[in-house]
A and B are shown apart, each in its own frame.
Chain A
Amino acid sequence: MRVATWMERSELQLRGLTPFTITLLLVLASAVPWHIPIFAPVTPAFAVMAIYYWSIYRPDKLPYAATFCLGLLHDLLTGTPLGLSALIYLLVQGVLSSQRTFFHGKPFLVVWWGFSLVMPGMALVSWVIASLYFNTLLPPMPFVVQAVLTVLLYPLFGLLLSALHRHMIRGT
């Protein structure tokens, strides 16, 4: 057996960073101004899609601490109450870590169905927490629209993520 060279090993490590990097890019994507009519308040929770995906297929490559930091970054960049996204991201991961064995290896429709249950739940939790934080009832409509948009966009992102996932595995 040949010992892996330094180059090969570092390439392997870089590939292992794919889940984190992708999620980071998606956090940035939700902070960038898209200038699409009435889009800003209902910008889909891009990062939640990635966290959902990696929690099912590669939970080892996106540890809780990384998710926490990504959530904090999202909050700091977008002006969301600090810690709120971090909490939501962790909850998604926590829920999935207990249901992972159920979703792993299941057809895409089942995974999507799972996401359509998780996302509204998270929208409700974040609405309740944000309302408590601001000490007033926030208008619930943007939360509903955001959840629906995110669920509808999941197939597209799921496809993209699985393509990247395959690319990541090919090297290993």
Chain B
Amino acid sequence: MRAYRGRALLLALPLKSVVQRFAFAFLVGAALTVMILSRAEPTLVDNMRGAVSDGAAPILEFFSHPAASVASFVEEVDALLEVHEKNSVLEDQNAALLKWQSVAEKFSHENEELRRMLRVVPDPEASFITARVISDSGGPFVRTVLINAGENDRVHKGQAVINNEGLTGRVVSAGQHSARILLLTDLNSRIPVIMESSREKAVLAGDNTPHPRLKFLAVDARVNVGDRIVTSGQGGVFPPGLPVGVVSLVSEERALVQPYVNWDRLEHVTVLDYTLPGFLPETKRAGRIGALR
């Protein structure tokens, strides 16, 4: 009996290592397959992501609170160190802003008057919902965040996302009570924009760096460092006029933009529900060529 057991062990040990090696090869193959599949069938993967994010949302929310308090402590110390400096800067700014306020009020009245005279078709009102950021991209691959609002809160794929500083990105997938936001710095982000003063149109293309590029500018376009960039509203997905950033660098072959949003302090964001009248929802638009619906 003992000899038999010994022989079984002699056989079992190599067998175990063979099985493990097989499992390793199989799982590596599975990982590669999943990657290729996610490239070929993005909708399938989006749905899966939605389901998993929904499941993990409460846990992430729970963990995001202590993380936020660590962050606010760091900020607090930071703020204390430069409180004097900031105060004098803010006082100056306040004085300047008060002047601008009266100018803005005057213009706003004048604008209203002129619109009435010209019978301008008003832009549709956007309704909104504000949600908390519960997950970060956590790595060098993508620039996305997860928020704790989803389809149940009328957050849908494609909607524009802003915060108090400016345009943040857009919704790329929505679960029942969580949604993923593609930040405008992400490699896959493309946003139709316009220079506020010169009215030159362009597409703001992210490339995973903090400074997205302006693409498809007209050949003779005049772009200067410091020009304000806002959304153009072309394509009907984003409301026009949302502040995006300022031009930070112009050279022969490229123009870079510094977004207004401070990515480190992205705690709450606002999702805009904006649909042009007569504009087809995404489900009713023509699909990709070859995509069956």
Contact = CB atoms under 8 A, between A and B. Distances in A.
B263 A40 contact: yes
A139 interface: yes
* A interface: dominant SS: helix
A65 B27 CA distance: 7
Contact of A79 (B33, B37, B49, B134): B49
Interface residues of B, number: 56
Contacts of A82: 34-35, 37-38, 45, 48-49
Given A33-B266, A77-B52, A77-B56, A136 B142 contact: no
A23 to B, nearest CB: 15
B35 A133 contact: yes
Given A65-B27, A68-B30, A32 B142 contact: no
Nearest to A142: B140
Contacts of A28: 56, 59-60, 63
A31 B141 contact: no
Interface string B254-293: 0000000001111100000000000000000000000000
A76 B48 contact: yes
A76 B53 contact: yes
A31 B136 contact: yes
A136 B183 CA distance: 18
Interface residues of A, number: 55
Contact of A31 (B60, B188, B264): B60
Contacts of B145: 33
Contact of A64 (B20, B64, B133): B20
Nearest to B265: A35
Given A28-B59, A40-B137, A81 B32 contact: no
A41 interface: yes
A81 B24 contact: no
A36 interface: yes
Contacts of B267: 33, 35
A164 interface: no
A34 B71 CA distance: 6
B235 interface: no
Given A82-B45, A83-B34, A138 B64 contact: no
